[in-house]
Amino acid sequence: MTTEIDPTALAVFIFFFVLVTVMGFIAARWRRPKTLARIDEWGLGGRSFGTWITWFLVGGDFYTAYTVIAVPALVYSVGAYGFFALPYTIIVYPFVFMVMPVLWKRAKDNGYVTAGDVVHGQYGSRALELAVAITGVIATMPYIALQLVGMTAVFKALGLHGEIPLAASFIILALYTYSAGLRAPALIAFVKDIMIYIVVIAAIALIPAKLGGYANVFAAADAAFKAKGSGSLLLAGNQYVAYATLALGSALAAFMYPHTLTGIFASNSGRTIRKNAALLPAYTLLLGLLALLGYMGHAAGLKLESANDVVPALFQTLFSGWFAGFAFAAIAIGALVPAAVMSIGAANLFTRNFWKAYINPQVTEAGEAKVAKVTSLIVKIGALLVILFLPTQFALDLQLLGGIWIMQTLPALVFGLYSNWFRGPGLLAGWVVGFFGGTYLVWINGLKPLQAISLGGTPFTVYIGLLALIANIVAAVIVNVVTPARATARA
């Protein structure tokens, strides 16, 4: 991949980057409330977003720049196994359709802003609330850092070396998020997703034509996997269970993250959420088309230092400078939207479930908003420092663990929506078993998310997050049965 500056590509990139920066600051006046000095106005957009805004916002923070870079990179490296993201994003929407409107109503009726609020309100347990809040924050931090990995790949392709472009981009992001809150990424998400759709449609139409057609693309990828002795166009027999459990586990974890829940809580009704559950699979189609770029990298004969360079290298090699700049801008903006929503989600958690719960219970609404704004700045700076001063592999490993950790909050957050049988001590015990048990399994497997097990003498490889969740639920049931019931007061 060429890393020299292309003036045309750079000019187009800068134009769109400046455009969304201006939009980010204007967003403070978009659908302007009487005041932004309330956490549900700054951090949830006043819970007023309708179908289209929610569609772009949730899609924008669910399908990130790292997704655009990492999914084709995984397909480029291992082939069919990299497509696990497709069934996972199909499974997740029935879950969203059934569960999220119920969760939204609980949050709306009681003024809850975070998952920690919901858990405390349901079980009256500060310890369980703290566990859910800590899990949300530490699972989100590496996710934000990985958005910078996506931006780094783009800057590298543009010939922008060093740390200044990355730092400058995140400082700008931090400032307009501080100013406009969730309205900024919601407004920018319109531009980002329209650009991504244009890029992907152009790529799947033009790249195969330039490479001799899809038959040649698949043949070249098949030949490349056979030559290196790993990866394949089809799953091997021993990958089926691992693939299925990874997809199911990822689906169960996806809407437990603070940033996805922020998009849900910002909706104006349960009906809006159900409409989005029906409309959001359009992004799954987009993701499947994006994944094919991994195979196209082989057909284009790219020589890459890192698999993460496959998408930028394809656009740089096969398209004119202006369109490459447009595509790079789409990917970079695709990092800003989710990073903003993630930092807001983490800031809301800190404000409501740490600051208000333990440091200043009498904090005013304006004080809450102020703490959340400052925390969102600190979160972004922390993510930036992780990427600048620690190996990227560190963020990758933490993000891997983050998926397993955040899944362990599902019983506490979801079970109470349908039943009052579970209590705080049982669910806290389940969280401890799932969180630390899952971490231990990942550790002894060399920071790999899969565990080999044997059922009836037949060996299987299973996603550790799902094993940890099962252990979590079993522990919660046992502790719930053996401990005496006490009245639970809703907060």
User: Is residue 135 assigned to a domain?
Assistant: yes
Bridge partners of residue 450, in order along the sequence: 463
Give the mean pLDDT of 400-424.
94
Residue labelled with tokens 């719960």: 357
What per-residue confidence (pLDDT) applies to 2? 61
Euclidean distance between CA atoms 172 and 21, whole angstroms: 7
Question: What is the amino acid identity at position 384?
Answer: L
pLDDT tens-digit map of 21-78: 888 888 877 777 777 788 989 999 889 899 999 988 888 777 777 788 888 998 999 9
Distance, in Å, from the CA atom of 450 to the CA atom of 147, rounded to the nearest integer, reads 24
288: containing domain: 7-393
pLDDT of residue 491: 47
Nearest-angstrom CA–CA distance, 352 and 350? 6
3-state SS record for 195-256: HHHHHHHHHHHHHHHHCCCHHHHHHHHHHHHHHHCCCECCCCHHHHHHHHHHHHHHHHHHCC
> Is the model's pLDDT at 465 over the cut of 90?
yes
The alpha-carbon radius of gyration of the chain (Å, integer) is 22
Q: How far apart (Å, rounded) are the C-alpha atoms in residues 123 and 135?
A: 18
- How many domains is the chain built from? 1
Pick the residue with more confidence: 188 or 149?
188
Q: Measuring CA to CA, which residue among 314, 329, 284, 315 is closest to residue 194?
A: 329
Q: What is the pLDDT of residue 337?
A: 85
Beta-bridged to residue 388, according to DSSP, are none
462 DSSP β-pair partners: 451
pLDDT single digits (tens) 328-369: 999 888 888 888 899 999 999 999 999 999 999 999 999 999
Residue 481: inside a domain: no
CA distances from 436 to 32, 134, 198, 388, 472 (A): 44, 13, 43, 29, 10
Q: How confident is the model at residue 389 (pLDDT cuts 50, 70, 90)?
A: confident
Residue type, 256: M
Does residue 71 lie within any of the structural domains?
A: yes
Does the model's pTM come out above 0.85? yes
For the chain, the residue count is 491
Higher-confidence residue: 133 or 238? Answer: 133
Is the pLDDT assigned to residue 174 strictly greater than 60?
A: yes
Residue 256 falls inside a structural domain: yes
Would you say residue 443 lies in a domain? no
Mean pLDDT, residues 299-326:
90
Taken in order 290, 466, 253, 275, the sign of the CA dihedral is positive
pLDDT at 489: 47
For residue 455, the SS3 value is: strand
| Structural domain contains residue 163 | yes
Q: What percent of the chain has pLDDT over 90?
A: 54
pLDDT of 243 > 70? The answer is yes
252: in domain: yes
368 within some domain: yes
Strand-pair category, 450-455 with 458-463: antiparallel
CATH, residue 182: 1.20.1730.10
Q: Report the pLDDT averaged over residues 8-19.
A: 92
Listed range (2-16, 128-142, 261-275, 289-303) with the worst mean pLDDT: 2-16
